[in-house]
Amino acid sequence: MIAEPNAASNLPSPKENAVHDETVPESPSQNGTCVRNGNLKTPRKKRKVREQCENSVVVDWVEAYKQDRNVALLDLINFFIQCSGCQGMVTAEMFQSLYKKDVMQKMTETFDKETGLQYKKFMAYPWILTVTWPVDMDNEDYPLIRTGPYWKKFKANFCEFIAVLVQQCQCSILYDNYLMDTIISLLTGLADSMVRAFRHTSTLAAMKLLTAVVSVHLNLDVNKHNAQRLYEVEKKRLSGKRTSYRLDQLERKRKEYEHKLLEIQNMMNAIFKGTFLNRYRDVIPEIRATCIEEIGSWIKTYPDAFLNDSYLKYVGRMLYDKQAEVRLKCLLGLQGIYSRKELVSRMDLFTSRFKDRIVSMPLDKDHEVAVQAMKLLMLMSQNCEDVLSAEDCEMLYQFVYTTHRPLAVAAGEFLYKRLLSHEGDKVQPKGGGKFGASTDQLKRLIHFFLESELHKHVAYLVDSLWDWAGKFLKDWECMTTLLLKNAEEAGEALSDAQESALIEIILATVREAAEGHPPVGRGASKKILSVKEKKIQLEDCTKITEHFIVVLPQLLAKYSTDAQKVANLLQIPQYYDLDVYSTGHLEKHLDALLREIKDIVAKHSDVSVLEASSRTYYILCREEIAIYSQVDCARTQMIDELMKQLNQLLDCFWQKEGGFCTDAGEISQMHSTLRRVAAFHNAHDLTKWNLYDKTLRFLVFETEHGSLPVLIILPALQCTYFSLLWQLAAVSENSTKETLFPLRRQLRHFSQICTCFLHHKEKDVREKAFMILCDWLLILSHLDSNNNEEAVGLLGYLPNTQLQEKLFSFIQEHVFMDREEEKKDLTEEEKDEACKLDDLHKKRSLLAAYCKLIVYNVVEMTAAAEIYKYYVKTYSDFGDIIKETLSKTRYNDKIQSAKTLILCLQQLFQTHAESQDSSNGVDFSSPSFANIKELARRFSLTFGWDQVKSRESIAMIHKEGIEFAFQGATGVDGKCLPPNLSFLLIISEFSNKLLKPDKRLVCSYLQRYVTEPLPCRGDKWQPLVWYRNSLLANEDEESSVLGSLGEWPPVSSSKTSSFKRKLSNESLPETSQTEAGSKAPEQQCVSQLSSAAGKSRKRLKSQEMHLQEHLPFLCPGGMRRRYCKDEVKTEDVPEEGPEDTIEDVDVIGTDQDS
């Protein structure tokens, strides 16, 4: 049997195999009764016709087997070989009358040493089969692992064919002691092959064969019991008679079934021991997964034979497999067992031995494995009594807070059914009444949330329970009733912590119902709702609105003094359907809500409460809704009172002598009032109240005298900023110069004030001024004043060099401060962990604001070089921000971004060189030089795997690096060493990102600076040698480039051909003869490569021109002129893409060097 290389066309053809129509549905059917699937419209009809085709093919094969079983079996054997990806043929001479010696001689005669073929000899009773295939056959590409719908269908049809084959043969030839013996020995022999394609395909076939045989065994077992029962009935009926024909017939039938069962059991044992035991720990994960999947099916289908510890142990062992696919199959198989209560009682030993492993698997790094492990634990918890301890359950409950939503939902089911649901509870919840059951569930949920000390993310908890507990989570009437209960009702009132938790749960459930998608951080993007889900969402929004329109004012009145509770409750109106106010005639409840909000604003100065109040007014003040006039009137009235209070405080604050009042009480009142005004000015236009002049006076006074309290400076700075933003937003297309010039002066004046505050004595003022200044510069540099170009020209502003330096100095001082200085500045209170996290958050915000200026070209991109210096040093704190900045700047301008990276490395190198002793040169082993090299390595990793996409950037880095390394050198004569030559070691970290053709161009560019042979003594020139070696693509290219540089390496041994390596690695002991004859195929391969190289020279010239166009800055003048000459010769050859360039240049390089 000679097997040819696998390909799609190598599958069985109609002439060679009668089952071709089953494996390749696209081909015409050989059987006239088989209808093409493509002419059918419904999937059910297609499947029915496909089953008819398969049955027809198998029936024809069975008839052929009955006429000549040897020929039919050869067709079946050939079918299995071809399904492995090889096409071969078994001839009659190999199995009919030849003795073993003749068979060995025949195999030797048909083996071709010159072609490098490999063969496998094995026993397929009663034959000795030999499969021969090329050594360079692609072991990584065969039908079972190919992707796409066609090959997925092929695998399904292949498995179904085996099941149909056994089904059609179970009544006749299955027990002839010939068919199954041959098939089992064939599959067992192929399963021992070193070739992955044979091993995988035969293992799958053997496992599916055993599954089909198990079904036959079940049917026989049922028939045997029926025959036994009929025999007993007939025996009782004829108890007085000596004999009966009917009784003898039933006895023979029963014995026949027993004999068949014995044969089936022998087949099952042969397949299990011959294939499963050898392959369930195969090196290929797909094979292991197939074995575990099928044994799970056997245990579930035939538990009487397979549900015991001798078989379960294999599933338990593979729970520890390194591949997620295998672990997943184990869990899926166990789910089928633990879902049936009648089987769980026989799993005690397995459960006790592997429970700890299963409990730990929700922590698996593979998400799907973790999800299925949680579902398995859910089944174990339901069907196994006390199998999970309280500690196990507490650990599993915490998975409701995980970011992976499927795992969180599975954990939510576990939490709901195990802890929250009252179904199955023998003791009815106390309290009864209308909301007795829901109240009990809510209290359990609140208790669980408060006990989870490590997690305070109630939105994640609600989202995890939403699919299972949505009914009681939407019972907002029960929740609000529980909140409004009087404290006098013993045992019913909630504690303060429980009330806060319940309000958070109410807000989370309202948000989930109204938005219809998971919270931020759980899920890549917003969920696309179906029509049914949108309908449910609208119904929920209406329900929320109708309920909370009435109840929310009562809740705000009850908790008006609690800032945290009020801030959460005030977020509910943003999910209202505001038309309900007018359609339901509920304006009186709107008046009540507005009164409560006004009262809350007067009582509180907390930022979260004020911002929530301001946002609520913003939501209710939409001009398109009917209640706009009512809400706008209330808003205007409240702001009038605020401004009146502010004016009174200002009159008292500013004294006639030019000073200000230092009374602590008045300063506190001023601070609270300014914070209220700032919160509302953020969302509402307060320009008509002329707030700008009032707040600017505070800032001007502070710049001149510097004695105002921080409590006043911060809100005054914010109010002034918001005032100018509203004025900018009001600039229209019809704005005149007379109105723009005063605004321009105000903008410049405010920028100067913020710049001045960068050096304020108070840290909070400095940080606030920096954040506002960064946002301010970003807005002014990207103005779009309604197509008014004149306004953009007058109001637009870019920071000068001096301001850019001040901004970076601020970042360097406040963000990248040394740890020693931080420790000196930290007080005892700031050493608290929470304070450290808060300080880190502030630093990240400052750095992100500055990096935004770089990304949007407000600050020159070269300023990023100073930021990149801290990439490795501060990676844990700011690495993500710096990396994102690098990515965005590279997207904006690849070349300039590359120059910024190399500038960063050059500056660090110069600092390192200045700190070293100039007489000894640069110390390669110093920690500072190692840090620079590590930084370069990290930079190279940011370019990813797509070398074509980053080729221009990488080439520019090498160009700039080479020029910097040879800066100040007059020549390479052994006497004048370039002072920055060691910099080549740093840029060598980017060599692996170069394409092979680009490496050649970089080497040519390097040769312009190294025009003479290198000296053979000393280590001073070692960086050049190391850098040059990093540019060499392979040994052949190394010899050519080294020769051009004047230094030749020692001659290396020739490389072995690829098929020779495969032969030595994969051949069996019987094929050792092929190793002696590998020289001829190697010479043949070299000649083929030479021929291919000669045919591709024209295309290479065209591709080199393509490189010249992409990387012109690396090509010397002579090279460019040569390309121009070649252009005329190759004008008829189309240009190839970069991908083709890589392969063809490599081939031609081999030809030239050889």
Is pLDDT of 735 > 80? Answer: no
Predicted confidence band of residue 460 (pLDDT cuts 50, 70, 90): very high
- 8 A C-beta contact, residue 166 and residue 213: yes
Phi, psi of 131 (to 5 degrees): -110, 130
Is pLDDT of 592 > 60? Answer: yes
Tokens for 241, please give them: 């008679």
Task: Give the model's pLDDT for residue 658.
Answer: 60
Predicted confidence band of residue 823 (pLDDT cuts 50, 70, 90): low
How far, in whole angstroms, is CA 958 from its chain's centroid? 33
Task: Give the model's pLDDT for residue 38.
Answer: 38
Task: Give the model's pLDDT for residue 487.
Answer: 52
Each residue's pLDDT tens digit, 381-393:
999 888 999 999 9
pLDDT > 90: what percent of the chain? Answer: 48
Alpha-carbon span 222 to 207, nearest angstrom: 23
Mean pLDDT for 218-237 is: 86
CB atoms within 10 A of CB 471: 9
Bigger pLDDT: 887 vs 84: 887
Smallest CA-to-CA distance from 179 within 54, 69, 55, 273 is with 69
Task: Give the model's pLDDT for residue 165.
Answer: 92
536 Cβ contact partners less than 8 Å away, ≥ 6 residues apart: none
Task: Give the model's pLDDT for residue 705.
Answer: 85
Bigger pLDDT: 739 vs 1084: 739
Smallest CA-to-CA distance from 154 within 353, 12, 52, 314 is with 12
Bigger pLDDT: 21 vs 688: 688
Task: Give the model's pLDDT for residue 36.
Answer: 31
Task: Give the model's pLDDT for residue 274.
Answer: 93
Mean pLDDT for 218-240 is: 83
Alpha-carbon span 90 to 105, nearest angstrom: 16
Bigger pLDDT: 250 vs 563: 563
Alpha-carbon span 571 to 573, nearest angstrom: 6
- 8 A C-beta contact, residue 1014 and residue 981: no
Each residue's pLDDT tens digit, 597-625:
999 999 999 999 999 999 999 999 988 88
What DSSP line would sit under 366-377, residue for residue? SHHHHHHHHHHH
What DSSP line would sit under 407-431, residue for residue? HHHHHHHHHIIIII--TT-SSPPTT
Task: Give the model's pLDDT for residue 89.
Answer: 52
Average pLDDT over the chain, rounded to whole? 78
How far, in whole angstroms, is CA 541 from its chain's centroid? 33
Predicted confidence band of residue 1143 (pLDDT cuts 50, 70, 90): very low
Tokens for 973, please give them: 């004569």
Smallest CA-to-CA distance from 111 within 1066, 1077, 1084, 1086 is with 1077
Task: Give the model's pLDDT for residue 846.
Answer: 95
| Strand (E) or helix (H) holding 142 | none
Is pLDDT of 793 > 60? Answer: yes
Bigger pLDDT: 997 vs 1090: 997
Each residue's pLDDT tens digit, 1007-1016:
888 766 555 4
Each residue's pLDDT tens digit, 847-897:
999 999 999 999 999 999 999 999 999 999 999 999 999 999 999 999 999
Each residue's pLDDT tens digit, 795-806:
777 888 999 999
Task: Give the model's pLDDT for residue 349.
Answer: 93
90 Cβ contact partners less than 8 Å away, ≥ 6 residues apart: 1, 74, 77, 78, 127, 129
Is pLDDT of 651 > 70? Answer: yes
Going by the DSSP 8-state scheme, the letter that residue 660 receives in this structure is: B
Phi, psi of 251 (to 5 degrees): -65, -40
| pTM of the predicted model over 0.85 | no
Helix axes 1138-1153, 1035-1044, angle to 10 degrees: 70
843 Cβ contact partners less than 8 Å away, ≥ 6 residues apart: 814, 815, 877, 878
Q: Is the dihedral of CA 926, 932, 936, 941 positive or negative?
A: positive
Predicted confidence band of residue 374 (pLDDT cuts 50, 70, 90): very high
Is pLDDT of 13 > 70? Answer: no
Mean pLDDT for 540-552 is: 95
Is pLDDT of 357 > 90? Answer: yes
Is pLDDT of 298 > 90? Answer: yes
Predicted confidence band of residue 300 (pLDDT cuts 50, 70, 90): very high
Beta strands, E only, 610-739? none
Is pLDDT of 46 > 60? Answer: no
Going by the DSSP 8-state scheme, the letter that residue 363 receives in this structure is: G
Smallest CA-to-CA distance from 909 within 841, 991, 831, 987 is with 987
Smallest CA-to-CA distance from 73 within 196, 213, 180, 150 is with 180
Distances 917 to 914, 922, 926, 982 between C-alpha atoms, Å: 8, 8, 12, 14
Mean pLDDT for 419-428 is: 60
Predicted confidence band of residue 670 (pLDDT cuts 50, 70, 90): very high
- 8 A C-beta contact, residue 30 and residue 20: yes
Task: Give the model's pLDDT for residue 662.
Answer: 75
| Strand (E) or helix (H) holding 121 | strand 117-124
Mean pLDDT for 1022-1038 is: 71
Mean pLDDT for 408-426 is: 82
**Upper half-sphere CA count for residue 931 (Cβ side, 13 Å):** 16
Distances 658 to 170, 661, 667, 749 between C-alpha atoms, Å: 109, 10, 16, 21
- 8 A C-beta contact, residue 442 and residue 483: no
Is pLDDT of 990 > 80? Answer: yes
Judged by average pLDDT, the poorest of 29-38, 279-288, 1039-1048, 1109-1118 is 29-38
Predicted confidence band of residue 406 (pLDDT cuts 50, 70, 90): very high
- The burial class, CB within 10 Å (0-12 / 13-18 / 19+), for 658 is exposed
What DSSP line would sit under 839-854, residue for residue? HHHHHHHHHHHHHHHH
